[in-house]
Structure 1
Amino acid sequence: MSRFYGPGEARIKELWIDVAAANRSQVKVHGILSNTHRQASRVILSFDFPFYGHHLRQITIATGGFIFMGDVIHRMLTATQYIAPLMANFNPSYSRNSTIKYFDNGTVFVVQWDKVYLHGKEDIGSFTFQAALHSEGRIVFGYKEIPMSVLEISATQHPVKAGLSDAFMLLNPSPDVPESRRRTIYEYHRVELDTSKVTSVSAVEFTPLPTCLQHQSCDVCVTSELTFNCSWCHVLQRCSSGFDRYREEWLSHGCGQESDKRTCEDWAESDHYSPSPNSPFMSFDEDVTTSSLFIGSLTTEDDTKLNQFAGGDGVRNDLPTKTSGAPIHTGTIVGIVLAILLIAAIILAVIYISSHPTSNAALFFIERRPHHWPTMKFRNHTNHTTYSEVDPAGHEKEGFVEAEQC
């Protein structure tokens, strides 16, 4: 549930957290993010933050006015799994006064974008706003300085939005390379705020609703009066609606079918649960390929729009199994031994050439060295906003792993 507070309401002073007045040992100015454009950096929280029922300890702060809440970094960073007080093309490197700081006292984690400017629109003025994540799951967006109407901010180079989003990830067989699998992200819930209400001295407070994941027993799960359709999966000992970050595991263990066949009384009568070898509830090892296909394609006009799935009617579960524990053939062992010998021979050859630069072998490779090394080029997707990730030491990584590849 969300509620806006406009200028003049007393609640705004209570919701805004004055980072400058906080304990200095608990406030950190991120030096890399404060001096770069389109960068993101991971931060560890001092407490588990419940986000859509999932307890998270690691988040990713981005210069573009949002926090990425996903585990797997991908090129559609601005599309799903975010907490965005004001997502836009901010460039903290424009001014020395622009900073991105965060505050953590064990019960609340605050990220503040302080005096940041829009890239290419620096003459408009600076923005100051914050996102506060409270340990009980409450989220507060506070806006101190918003020099222009958010509706007038251009979304050509970067998405402009405010709100929350979460998604689950599935591994699907790659159509191009049958042996490999690719990750596909499905957004299952989004909260979009009316950005016309985002003004100076305003705030938004999100109060989380109960989720199926919080129920720890079968009886409480199936009798839940939540608006979600909660089901109990005995093999996972988990209550779920089937639409959360554990969906891959929910499908692979046949939890949807399990909930239709047995009741809590049936499970209670069984002192011990031992799945049969042909049971769909068995745990799969890493060699098993599981896939869950959605009827209909995931259309994407840009990285801000993804299909939402509110029900499970369009889902089917395909679980091709693979026999494990097969004996290792002699040919496999011979192949491994030959590969090790080949690698050892290459290493010895490199050592010999390095220590004897005037030998015939060394001269042979020098004469045939390439004149120009090929230059690596990265395609610029105009419809995707790319971010570079920086590690805690301040080194920029090569780039985020794309969601479609693994």
Structure 2
Amino acid sequence: MLLCPYHPPGREPASPDRRRLPEDNHSYYVSRIYGPGDARLRGLWVDMAAANRSQVKIHGILSNTHRQASRIVLSFDFPFYGHLLRQVTIATGGFIFMGDVIHRMLTATQYVAPLMANFNPSFSRNSTVQYLDNGTVFVVQWDKVYLQGKEDMGSFTFQAALHSTGRIVFGYKEIPVPVLQISATQHPVKAGLSDAFMILNPSPDVPESRRRTIYEYHRVELDTSKITNMSAVEFTPLPTCLQHQSCEMCVTSELTFNCSWCHVLQR
């Protein structure tokens, strides 16, 4: 179990190349939002209290710290943007980091974030960060957690479920205030998905060393005004090029992106 403190910036500057995509179709996923009156909602929330207790673990350290993250090994391969992952990193700040390399800026990209904010589970003995793994779904629940310095707003209870099929579900049980009222001064506030890839480049200062550069290629930003008590968001993965095993399969496929041959890369 790897523990890592993270130090997110305050409000992140807007990037000109980050554009908001349509809410229901995000190239890699289709998302659907369910409100309190939707019949589908009941089947999306995972009742941790009713689950097999041997499959549910309360993370003792994360439940008693602030701005901490812990690496967890899954019992199955989880397809994230088409890539198979066996390890994820749970953060106290309401998100799961999906990257391989742990660093101090976990909030920037490569995340599954039902509600990323400045939560401090150590404020209350009733606050816990718990997770369940039953072989087909991995669920993380931030249970009765409070915002650092804004404890009077009340406690939040929500979860993220990673299904072995690649489906992702955000469930919201207790959201005491509108998310738009949560300050992003000390910690980013966002909900959605993000993925990136990393390239090692020679460092200009030390030629024999390598510098990691992370390129975010896709992000889904949810409309946080729709995050309320008893609501949920379901992400269904779309086919990706990674499922094709040859160049011919890519360029002839009608299920994925518009692939073509690159004469420069010869790929």
Task: Give the aligned partner of residue 119 of structure 1.
Answer: 148
Q: Which string of whole-angstrom CA distances, capped at 9 and with x for unpartnered residues, describes residues 170-200 of structure 1? A: 1112122222220000000000000010011
CA distance in 1, matches of 2:123, 2:82: 38
The one-letter amino acid paired with 2:142 is W
Match of 2:225 in 1: 196
- Give 2:45's aligned residue: 16
Distance 1:206 1:27, change over 3 A: same
SS of residue in 2 equivalent to 1:19 = coil
Quote the Cα distance in structure 2 between the aligned partners of 1:154 and 1:163: 17
TM-aligned CA distance change 1:256 to 1:229, over 3 Å: farther
CA distance in structure 2 between the aligned counterparts of 1:46 and 1:21, rounded to whole angstroms: 20
**Which structure carries more helix by proportion?**
1
**1:276 matched residue in structure 2:** none
Gaps in structure 2 of 5+ consecutive residues: 1-29
Tell me whether 1:134 sits opposite 2:163 in the alignment: yes
| Match 1:187 to one of 205, 209, 216 | 216
Once the two structures are superposed, the pairs formed by residues 297-336 of structure 1 within 5 Å of their partners are none
Q: Give the ranges of 4+ consecutive aligned residues of structure 1 lying more than 6 Å apart after TM superposition.
A: none
TM-score (norm 1): 0.57
1:171 and 1:178 map into 2 onto residues whose CA distance is 12
> Match of 2:85?
56
What is the alpha-carbon distance in structure 2 between the residues aligned to residue 223 and residue 215 of structure 1?
A: 10
1:7-86 to 2 correspondence within 5 Å?
A: 7-86=36-115
Alpha-carbon distance between aligned partners in 2 of 1:255 and 1:9, rounded to the nearest angstrom: 50
On the 8 A contact 2:129/2:140 being kept in 1, the answer is yes
> SS of the residue aligned with 1:14?
helix
> Post-superposition shift, 1:113?
0.2
Confirm or deny that 1:94 pairs with 2:123.
yes
Higher relative contact order (CA 8 A, sep 6+): 2
Q: Distance in 1 between matches of 2:263 and 2:108?
A: 29
Q: Distance in 2 between matches of 1:30 and 1:197?
A: 29
1:244-300 CA distances to partner (integer Å, 9 max, x unpaired)?
xxxxxxxxxx995323xxxxxxxxxxxxxxxxxxxxxxxxxxxxxxxxxxxxxxxxx
Q: In 2, Cα distance between the equivalents of 1:92 and 1:118?
A: 8
CA contact (8 A) 2:239 2:256 kept: no
Q: TM (normalized to structure 2)?
A: 0.86
Distance 1:99 1:255, change over 3 A: farther
Alignment coverage as a number of residue pairs: 238
* Equivalent residue in structure 2 for 1:215, among 231, 237, 244: 244
In 2, the alpha carbon distance for the partners of 1:107 and 1:98 equals: 26
Per the alignment, in what secondary structure is the counterpart of residue 49 of structure 2? helix
For residues 239-254 of structure 1, the aligned pairs below 5 Å read none
Match of 1:108 among 118, 137, 162: 137
C-alpha separation in 2, matches of 1:123 and 1:7 = 25
- CA distance in 1 between counterparts of 2:80 and 2:239 reads 11
Indicate conservation of the 8 Å contact 2:241/2:256, yes or no: no
Q: CA deviation at 1:76?
A: 1.8
CA distance in 2, matches of 1:123, 1:20: 26
Does the residue aligned with 2:41 lie in a helix, a strand or coil? helix
Once the two structures are TM-superposed, the CA of residue 228 in structure 1 deviates from its matched residue by: 1.9
Q: Look up the match of 1:383.
A: none
Query: CA-to-partner distance for each residue in 1:184-231, whole Å, 9 max, x for gaps?
Result: 000000000000100110000000010000112343222012452436
Q: Identity across aligned pairs (percent)?
A: 85
Distance between the aligned counterparts of 2:135 and 2:173, measured in 1? 24
AA of the residue aligned to 1:258: Q
User: Secondary structure of 1:21's match?
Assistant: coil
- Structure 1: gaps (5+ residues): 233-253, 260-406
**Residue of structure 2 equivalent to 1:155:** 184
Measured in 1, the distance between the counterparts of 2:102 and 2:259 equals: 29
- Is the aligned partner of 1:166 residue 2:226? no
Matched-pair contact (CA < 8 Å) for 2:240–2:256:
no
Q: What code does the residue aligned with 2:52 have?
A: N
Q: Distance in 1 between matches of 2:265 and 2:171?
A: 44
**In 1: Cα distance, 2:259 partner to 2:121 partner:** 44
Structure 2: which amino acid aligns with 1:201?
M
- 1:328 corresponds to: none
What displacement does 1:123 show? 1.0
Q: Aligned to 1:224, which of 239, 242, 253?
A: 253
Match for 2:141: what amino acid?
Q
Question: C-alpha distance in 1, partners of 2:188/2:205?
Answer: 30
| Distance in 1 (alpha carbons) for counterparts of 2:263 and 2:124 | 53
Q: In the alignment, what sits opposite 1:4?
A: 33
For residues 318-373 of structure 1, the C-alpha deviation after alignment (integer angstroms, 9 at most, x for no partner) is xxxxxxxxxxxxxxxxxxxxxxxxxxxxxxxxxxxxxxxxxxxxxxxxxxxxxxxx
| SS class of match (2:265) | helix
RMSD: 1.4
Q: Deviations over 1:73-104 (max 9, x none)?
A: 12221011000000000000000000000001
Residue identity in the other structure for 1:39: Q
